[in-house]
């Protein structure tokens, strides 16, 4: 879907992005993680031409982005940033409807789309449609910001630290919302973050940037299993790799026939959470259920094995 | 005064209107200030006509100054216009530092007597307040907001019209308000170069030693200034609310 080929960007003598090649498959989430100044935001902004590459090409669906006028290109790509950038003088509905209006959608179609998106983000349209951004909480503003980016049903969504300003609990819910909506629309997402946990949790693939270079691009499990450099290892936090791996996996594949005592855990629980429950409740095996039906059990030994390195 | 209750402003407006329409009814009030037998109410030109001329002149000058100043401020806040900023500032500052009387004195030999030199002085004098506030309004917008607008595919013109100007409007209005109030006072000087304004009443009073005339001219201009100020303040508050700021 998105192809970056040997893309570089310099500002004066400073090279901010240095010969990066990357490919994002349609419908996948790529998270780009790095310290501040690593060039990750510049990389993102070159996809919708907010920054022009000094060298290399960016292609979307096989087409060089330079063949499209910048404002038309951007109308076809969702863009959500930290601090949401909502227009303070426009209501929620007007904010969400900005790009559809630019595209010339008729009034009824825009209104229907606005209500649909507000519903998806668990905001009652009747209650929120006519509010100004100043009358919303930080979490609500952020959701409207993402809803606005998705309004014109763009095949691609670019996100720059979209959850950076949120408190941990709201951030967790916002991530779940994003994943649910991404599954629903099949949107291809590139998300920039400095938070490795967020990158691992959201990304189908994770790209690590350091000093303008792409250091590693891999699936979350492969990244944890084999960090390409000491820098990636440091970003991963070093000490608790086993637990990071466990939190990426769910118990479903580990279920074996048999009985176990106590309250069952639901299918879909992460290995990490299951192991914690096993330790806390002093049970060597836990029953696993789906929709109230016991599927079998997982043993602590099977859970522990998931934390082993390659 | 601007925060005085609406009742007071309405009363002031009614009083001003009544005085301009039927000044002779107010003669007893001004009688004590007119020396000897001289008439207490200025009658050479109807006060209403002078007041209308005064307002129209100031409105035209403020409009022209507003268009020029906002235009300068827009140009100076575009990426291509950064170089223009010092020049625009210099022009606006020059207009303000020049005393209006000096502008009149310099303009008369070039454009002759009458309304035109007064208009020039008023426009020059009105530029700076509007330019400075427009610059603050347009230049002080949240960069994340403009970045988001650009990222969504708004063109430069769309960003200006749909985002920047509506958000800067409260600031711009505050500049226009200051400029209009200064203009109302300054326009009285126009009478010295034969522009038809309320200054005519004041000048005539000063020349003949008739304090009643001076009071009539001065109070009328003051009342108009207070009302214009209040009107613009109300507009400004409305624009502030519409811009989504809590006023």
| Residue A310 confidence class, pLDDT cut points 50, 70, 90 | low
Q: What's the average model confidence in pLDDT over B156-177?
A: 93
Q: Given pLDDT bands bounded at 50, 70 and 90, which one contains residue B245?
A: low
Averaged over A258-280, what is the pLDDT?
A: 88
From the list A86, A88, A158, which residue is nearest B243 (CB)? A88
Report chain A residues whose CB lies below 8 A from the CB of B162.
Answer: 87
Q: Considering the domain boundaries, does residue B247 fall inside one? A: no
Q: Where are the alpha helices (DSSP H) in chain A?
A: 40-47, 70-75, 92-96, 98-102, 107-120, 125-128, 138-150, 168-185, 196-202, 220-225, 230-236, 241-248, 271-280, 300-305
Contact with chain A for residue B140, Cβ under 8 A: no
State the pairing for strand pair A205-210/A213-218. Answer: antiparallel
**What does each C-alpha distance from A212 to A41, A57, B27 come to in angstroms?**
10, 16, 83
- How many angstroms separate the CA atoms of B244 and A130, rounded? 12
3-state DSSP assignment of residue A299: strand
CATH topology of domain A244-305: CBS domain Like (3.90.1280)
From chain A, pick out residues whose CB is under 8 angstroms from the CB of B145: 85-88
- For B153, the closest of A71, A84, A145 (CB atoms) is A71
- Residues constituting chain B: 247
CA distance B52 to B196: 10
What is the rounded (10 degree) CA torsion for A170, A172, A177, A182?
A: 140
Is B57 in contact with B195 (CB distance < 8 Å)? yes
Q: At what angle do helices A138-150 and A168-185 cross, to 10 degrees?
A: 20
Q: Are A160 and A193 in contact (CB under 8 A)?
A: no
Pairing of strands A188-193, A205-210: unpaired
Over residues A31-57, the pLDDT tens digits come to 999 888 889 999 999 999 999 999 999
Q: What is the pLDDT at residue B247?
A: 37
Residue A83 contacts residue A159 (beta carbons within 8 Å): no
Mean pLDDT of chain A, nearest integer: 89
Cα of B241 to nearest chain A Cα, Å: 8
From the number of C-beta atoms within 10 Å of its C-beta (0-12, 13-18, 19+), residue B58 rates as: buried
Closest alpha carbon within chain B to A45? B151
Residue B117 has, within 13 A of its CA and on its CB side, a CA count of 23
Quick one: tokens of B140?
Answer: 């002080």
Given phi > 0 = left and psi -120 to 50 = alpha, else beta, which region is A247?
alpha
Sort strands A55-60 and A156-160 into parallel, antiparallel or unpaired. unpaired
3-state DSSP call for residue A163?
A: coil
Give strand pairing partners of A78: A157
Number of C-beta neighbours around residue A302 at 10 A: 18
* A112-124 residue pLDDT tens: 999 999 988 888 9
Distance CA A290, CA A168 (A): 28
Predicted local distance difference test score (pLDDT) of residue A157: 94
Instruction: Pull the structure tokens for residue B75.
Output: 């140009």
Q: What is the pLDDT of residue A223?
A: 87
The count of domains in chain B is 1
Region B4-12 average pLDDT: 85
CATH superfamily, region A2-240 = P-loop containing nucleotide triphosphate hydrolases (3.40.50.300)
Q: Give the nearest chain A residue to B169 (CA atoms).
A: A89
Per-residue 3-state assignment (H helix, E strand, C coil) for B26-43: HHHHHHHHCCCCCCCCCC
Give the C-alpha separation, B21 to B12, whole Å. Answer: 14
CATH number of the domain to which B109 belongs: 1.10.3720.10
Q: Which domain holds residue B58?
A: 6-242
| Domain span(s) for CATH 3.40.50.300 in chain A | 2-240
> Hey, are the CB atoms on A88 and B148 less than 8 Å from each other?
no
**pLDDT (tens digit per residue) in A71-82:** 999 999 999 988
Are B140 and B170 in contact, with CB atoms under 8 Å apart?
no
The whole-number average pLDDT for the span B159-170 is: 92
Q: How far apart are CA B86 and CA B92, in angstroms?
A: 10
* Strands lying side by side in the sheet with A265-266: A265-266, A285-290, A293-299
pLDDT of residue B1: 45
By the CB < 8 Å criterion, does A82 face chain B? yes
Contact B183/B195 with Cβ under 8 angstroms? no
pLDDT digits 0-9 by tens, A234-249: 888 766 778 888 888 8
Q: For residues B217 and B106, which has the higher predicted lDDT (pLDDT)?
A: B217
- Taking residue A173's Cβ as centre, other Cβ atoms within 10 Å add up to 14
For B57-66, the pLDDT digits (tens) are 999 999 999 9
Pick from A208, A240, A266, A272: nearest CA to A40: A208
Mean pLDDT, residues A145-152: 91
Q: How many percent of chain B have pLDDT more than 70?
A: 96
Contact at 8 Å (CB) between A143 and A174?
A: yes
pLDDT at B187 over 70: yes
Strands A77-81 and A156-160: parallel
Nearest CA in chain B to A81: B148
Tokens encoding A5: 């080929």
Structure tokens at A297: 């059990």
A275: its two tokens:
């192991």
| N-to-C CA span, chain B | 19
State yes or no: pLDDT of B100 exceeds 50.
yes
More confident residue, B172 or B191: B172
Please write the tens of the pLDDT for every residue from B63-81: 999 999 999 899 888 887 7
Percentage of residues in chain A with pLDDT exceeding 70?
Answer: 99
Query: What pairing do the DSSP bridges indicate for beta strands A2-11 and A265-266?
Result: unpaired
Nearest to B153 among A75, A81, A134 (CB): A75
CB A46 within 8 A of CB A128: no
Cα–Cα distance, A230 to A236 (Å, whole number) = 10
Distance (Å, rounded) from C-alpha B193 to C-alpha B205? 16
Q: How large is the average pLDDT for residues A220-233?
A: 85
Q: Which of A269, A274, A307 is nearest to A290 (CA)?
A: A269
B165 touches chain A (CB under 8 A): no
Which residues of chain A form CATH 3.90.1280.20? Answer: 244-305
To test the contact with chain B by mutation, choose from A44, A89, A142, A146 the residue with the greatest count of B C-beta atoms within 10 A, namely A89
Name A32's bridge partners. A192, A207
- So what's the pLDDT on residue B3? 58
Model confidence over A173-212: pLDDT tens digits? 888 888 888 988 899 999 999 888 889 889 999 999 998 8
Q: Which of B71, B76, B243, B247 is nearest to B167 (CA)?
A: B243
Count, in order, helices (H) and strands (E) of chain B.
11, 0
Are A286 and A297 in contact by the 8 Å Cβ rule? The answer is yes
What is the greatest pairwise CA distance in chain A? 67
User: Is residue B1 assigned to a domain?
Assistant: no
């Amino acid at each position: 879907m998105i192809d970056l080929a040997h893309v570089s960007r310099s500002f004066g003598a400073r090279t901010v992005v240095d010969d990066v090649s990357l490919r994002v498959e349609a419908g996948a989430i790529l998270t780009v993680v790095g310290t501040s100044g690593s060039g990750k935001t510049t990389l993102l902004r070159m996809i919708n031409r907010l920054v022009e590459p000094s060298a290399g090409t960016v292609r979307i669906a096989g087409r060089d982005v330079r063949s499209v006028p910048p404002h038309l290109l951007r109308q076809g790509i969702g863009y959500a940033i930290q601090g949401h950038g909502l227009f303070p003088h426009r209501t929620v509905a007007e904010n969400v409807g900005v790009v559809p209006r630019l595209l010339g959608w008729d009034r009824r179609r825009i209104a229907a789309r606005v209500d649909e998106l507000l519903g998806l983000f668990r905001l009652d349209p009747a209650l929120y449609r006519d509010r100004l951004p100043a009358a919303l909480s930080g979490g609500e503003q952020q959701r409207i910001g993402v809803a606005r980016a998705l309004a014109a049903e763009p095949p691609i969504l670019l996100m720059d630290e979209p959850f950076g300003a949120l408190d941990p609990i709201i951030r967790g819910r916002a991530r779940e919302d994003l994943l649910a909506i991404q599954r629903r629309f099949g949107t291809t997402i590139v998300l920039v973050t400095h938070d490795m946990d967020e990158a691992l949790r959201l990304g189908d693939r994770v790209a690590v940037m350091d000093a303008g270079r792409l250091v590693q691009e891999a699936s979350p499990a492969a990244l944890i299993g084999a960090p390409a450099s000491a820098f990636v290892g440091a970003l991963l936090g070093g000490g608790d790799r086993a637990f990071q791996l466990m939190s990426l996996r769910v118990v479903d594949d580990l279920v074996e026939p048999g009985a176990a005592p106590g309250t069952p855990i639901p299918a879909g629980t992460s290995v990490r959470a299951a192991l914690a429950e096993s330790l806390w409740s002093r049970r060597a095996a836990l029953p696993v259920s789906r929709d109230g039906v016991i599927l079998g059990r997982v043993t602590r030994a099977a859970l522990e094995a998931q934390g082993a390195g390659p | 005064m601007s925060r005085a209750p609406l009742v007071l402003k309405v009363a002031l407006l009614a009083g001003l209107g009544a005085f301009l329409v039927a000044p002779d009814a107010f003669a007893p009030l001004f009688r004590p200030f007119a020396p000897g037998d001289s008439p207490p109410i200025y009658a050479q030109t109807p006060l209403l006509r002078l007041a209308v001329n005064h307002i129209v002149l100031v409105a035209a000058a403020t409009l022209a100054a507003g268009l020029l100043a906002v235009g300068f401020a827009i140009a100076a806040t575009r990426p291509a216009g950064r170089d223009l900023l010092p020049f625009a500032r210099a022009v606006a500052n020059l207009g303000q530092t020049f005393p209006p009387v000096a502008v009149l004195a310099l303009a008369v030999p070039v454009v002759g007597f009458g309304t035109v030199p007064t208009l020039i002085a008023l426009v020059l004098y009105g530029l700076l307040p509007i330019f400075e506030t427009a610059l603050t309004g347009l230049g002080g917008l949240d960069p994340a907001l403009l970045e988001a607008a650009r990222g969504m595919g708004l063109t430069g013109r769309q960003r200006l019209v749909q985002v920047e100007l509506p958000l800067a409007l409260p600031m711009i209005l505050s500049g226009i308000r200051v400029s209009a109030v200064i203009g109302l006072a300054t326009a009285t000087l126009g009478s010295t170069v034969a522009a038809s304004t309320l200054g005519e009443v004041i000048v005539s009073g000063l020349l003949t030693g008739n304090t009643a005339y001076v009071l009539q001219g001065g109070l009328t201009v003051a009342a108009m200034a207070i009302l214009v100020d209040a009107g613009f303040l109300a507009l400004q508050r409305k624009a502030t609310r519409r811009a989504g700021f809590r006023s």
